[in-house]
Every structure is written in C-alpha cells, then in structure tokens.
Structure 1
Amino acid sequence: MKDQASVLRETDEEARKLARVLLRSARYAALAVLDPATGFPFASRVLLGTDIDGVPVILVSALSTHTKALEADPRASLLTGEPGRGDPLAHPRLTTQSIAEPVERGSAVHQRIRTRFLDRHAKAKLYIDFPDFRFFRLVPQSASLNGGFGRAYVLEGADLMILSPANEAVAAQAAQTVRDLVEEHADLSEALAELFKAPNDAAWRICGVDCAGFDAISGDLLNRCEFESPIENATDIKSHISKIAYSLREI
C-alpha cells in the first residue's frame, strides 16, 4: 500500500511572509488554552497587538478563564486570518502555538507594550490600567499556515519573529519616527489610502513601526506593510516606510 502523499508544501519565503502578515495585521484573534478545572480546550476572543520583536501580545483580565488557564499552563494557540466572501475555508489563516510570558507591570517592557497596544486599540485606554488587567507575550514556538485549499505549511517560531539588532533602538524612537513622517509628508494619510485602495476620505495613520515593517489603521481597518527584509539600522526606518507608502506614485 502506497504512503499517502503529504498535504504539506515546502515552506518558502512567500509562505513565511503571508504568515507574518496574518499574525501582525490581526486586531483580534481566537485564543485556545487548556482549562485547568476540566482539562478541556477553552477558546475565546482576545484583542491582539505585537511587541517590537513581532511577538503577539494580549491584554486580559485576571478574572477571565483564559488568564487562569495561562497561569496554570502557559501553552496557548492563536488563530488569525479573516474570512472574506464565499467559502470561509478558501481564505488563509494561521494557527500559532505559543508559550505565554506574563509582563511585569511597571517594567520597561510593559510600558513599551502598553504604548504600542493603545496605538492600535485606543478604546482599551478605558481599562488598560485596571489592577486586574495584565499583558502576556505569546512567544511563537511553531505555526500552521493554511493559505487556502491545497496550500498548507508548517513554520518555526523564529519565522514569525523580528530578529534584528535594531529592535530596541527602533522601539525607543518609534513615536518620534511617526511624528517626523507626518511632518515631512503632509499627504501621508492620502498616500496610505491610495496604497490600500481605500476611499480618499479615509483617515489613515501609522499605529506601529518595527524593524520589519509598519502598521496603519483607519477606524476598524488595520493594514500591515512588510519591508523586503528587516532593517538592521534604526536610521533606515523612515526611508523604508516612505518608500512603501509612496510606491504607487513612483510607477
């Protein structure tokens, strides 16, 4: 009897990029944990952000089942990827298996994540500083990408992370970088709308920068733009963002 052919494709850079975009462009995700009371898988919806190294982060209440589960067992899975028109199974999605790391309140990492999270989820300001709320970094260990029918890939955790020596430097100057871009490009919002093929009256703003790309938001819409490769010098961040934002006007 012949062995059944593998449904997996060889993981290439195109698959890695799709996986990174599915994870980094998600405003929310389905989170699966192990319920310590029953041992059964427990799934819920959480708001999603990313740290400067590409690690996804969640903000959760100590009163919730998933927080208690993560405290008992740090293993978790995230499902990201939006279904579009037609068959929802024909659209790409990513399952990321992670180890949850609690973020110490008051630490430099906490402040960095808090700032990045609020840039993406402004309404979270209503409760982000409540004493029972905390951040977890969900460090990717492996991932399963389904790019649509017949397009399945397995990725390593490192494929989803930003491994650049400039991470800390970019994080330190992120807010100033965005201010400089707005000052230097008065039509930045219009350029982003054109890039995303959005209505011209949509007000787009950059809500996150890192060594691998940038995030832009307009209302409930979030788009991720990846650089061709992560930058290794923080001084290159503005030129890379400008190049992508104005790429259509150069054609």
Structure 2
Amino acid sequence: MPDTSPEPAEPAKSFDARTEARRLMRTSRYGSLATLDPATGGPYASLVSVAADVDGSPLLLISRLAVHTRNIEAQPACSLLLADVGAGDPLVHPRVSLTAVAEKTQDPAARRRFLAQNPGAGFYADFSDFAFYRLAVRGGHLVAGFGRIVDLTPADLLVDLAGAASLVAAEEEAIAHVNADHPDIAALYATRLLGLPPGPWTITGLDPEGCDLAAEDRRARLAFVERVSTPADLRKAFQTLAQKARA
C-alpha cells in the first residue's frame, strides 16, 4: 500500500528562534528555578522573580533563607524555565529552558535593572539575607509550538555588547531622561508599534538591539530598526521609532 502518512509540517519561515528566546528572557516576570539539593543530589524547583541584565542574562534577588539559595551556594549549576502564559492549553505557549551557573553580584547596574523591572522588590532588596545573582547562561532549549523546538547557544541567547560600552554607560541617564521629559514615548511605542493596550508604560532597559517596556505587571520588548552602539545612535533610533509610531 502506498504511504499516505502526512508530510511533517515545516516551521513558518518567519519564525526566528533567537528572537523568540530573547523576547522571553526580556519579558518574563517570573520563572521556575531548578537547583540541586546537596542532601539528596536531586532537583529542587521553585518560583522566582526575574529580570534581564543588559545582555539578557537573567538576574535574581533571592534570600539565603530560601532552599534554592542554599542549594546554589553549595552547587551553582541551575536551570531556569521562562514561559508565556495565557488562555487555553499551556503547552501551546512558548517557553525556554536555560542552563546556567549562578553567580552572586554586587554590580550596581544589575541591582538597578532588577529593581526597575521589579519595583516592588525595593522593599526587601536591602535586607541582610537577600543578594542579587546573575545567571551565566550556558545554553537553552526553546519550545515555541509544533516544529519549533530548537537548542540554542549562549551566542544565540545573549546580546553582544562589543563596541557598545558608551551606550551601556549612558543607559541609566538615557532612560531617566526619556521617561521624565518624554513620558508619552513609551506608551506610543507600546500601543502604536506593538499593538498593546494603553497603560502607564515606561522604559526600563536599553541595549544595542532594543528597549524593554513595562506597565504595572505587563512587560514588552521593542526592537530597534538597526543595532545601536552609542548614545548618538540611540537618539536616532528613538527618533525613527517615534516617527514610525506617529505616522
């Protein structure tokens, strides 16, 4: 008998695994952190708030009183699952599982970025038992639907900061300026360019590839038309996006 089984469906050509994984890393408010329990050698999963460093590396603010923190202190290897959530079957929504090594950080920029994306954490950020951690990403596994299952490398997942030192140094000042002096810009980007509902949108982060937006519990990612490396490039990128949004 002739083989009548259907041909495997091919992923849509417009699908970009790197872009989708990076979007999840920038817009997820929380994730499932898996650590190794030194007592049993087995995995331990917990829910944590997350933020993204300038290159996209996940940032955590966790207490030493928590089991996952004590596990990390004994064995820093861990995994973080980030996922979109929504109505219907949860398995149809995209998610990315990251393998990483947790590293404690006292970098002021990491602290600023975490609190910009999780302002409620400012209440306990200075408690003596809390500390910030950056997850040094070793790889990732993206599941974004049928035929869209991809293993990714750190180069796929993280933004290359080469040549962008002046932009990174100017990030805090640039964000403060735009949010204070042009308060309508973030909302314009969110509603006109991303098709999102109105809200108190602000810019929470900048990097060579785009900017991160937030409105209360919502997060979004807006890509620049071209890579930016300097504050001058950033001004041009914002002007281009504003003109496009107002058109």
Alignment TM-score, normalising by the size of structure 2: 0.87
The alignment partner of 1:175 has SS state of helix
Whether 1:210 and 2:194 are equivalent positions in the alignment is no
AA at the equivalent of 1:120: Q
RMSD of equivalent CA atoms: 2.7
Counterparts of 1:1-251 in structure 2, within 5 Å, are 14-103=16-105, 105=106, 110-182=107-179, 185=182, 187-195=184-192, 196-200=194-198, 202-228=199-225, 230-244=227-241, 246-250=243-247
Describe the superposition over 1:214-245 as per-residue Cα deviations: whole angstroms up to 9, x where unpaired: 11111100111223554233421232244335
Among the aligned pairs, what percent are the same residue? Answer: 35
Q: 1:209 to 1:38 in 2, by over 3 A?
A: same
Q: Deviations over 1:146-193 (max 9, x none)?
A: 011221001001211121234432232122212333466453144134
Q: In 1, distance between residues paired with 2:17 and 2:173?
A: 33
1:36 match: secondary structure? coil
Give the Cα–Cα distance (whole angstroms) in 1 for the partners of residues 59 and 204 of structure 2: 15
Answer whether contact 1:35 1:69 (CA < 8 A) is retained: yes
Of 13-22 and 187-196, the range deviating more from structure 2:
187-196
**Contact 1:81–1:92 at 8 Å: present in 2 too?**
yes
Q: SS of 1:247's equivalent? A: helix
Offset, 1:248: 3.7
Maintained 8 Å contact 1:89/1:149: no
Counterpart CA distance in 2 for 1:102 and 1:182 is: 30
Conservation of the 8 A alpha-carbon contact between 1:22 and 1:93:
yes
CA distance in 1, matches of 2:179, 2:71: 42
Measured in 2, the distance between the counterparts of 1:141 and 1:8 equals 28
In 2: Cα distance, 1:235 partner to 1:177 partner: 11
Work out the CA distance in 2 between the residues paired with 1:246 and 1:137: 36
What is the letter of the counterpart of residue 22 of structure 1? L
The 3 A distance-change label for structure 1 pair 15 and 181 is same
Which stretch shifts more, 241-250 or 220-229? 241-250
- Counterpart of 2:60 in 1: which secondary structure? strand
**Greater than 4 Å deviation, 4+ residue runs:** 6-9
Structure 2 stretches lacking a partner, 5+ long: 1-7
Q: Deviations over 1:6-44 (max 9, x none)?
A: 9998xx981101110011111111111111111111111
Which amino acid is the alignment partner of residue 246 of structure 2?
R
Specify every segment of 5 or more residues in structure 1 that has no aligned partner in the other structure, as ranges: 1-5
Distance 1:186 1:87, change over 3 A: closer
- Whole-angstrom CA distance in 2 between matches of 1:22 and 1:205: 19
Q: Distance in 1 between matches of 2:178 and 2:56?
A: 22
| Residues in 1 aligned to 2:189 and 2:47: alpha-carbon distance in whole angstroms | 29
State the one-letter code of the partner of 1:169: S
TM-score (norm 1): 0.85
Partner AA of 2:213 in structure 1: A
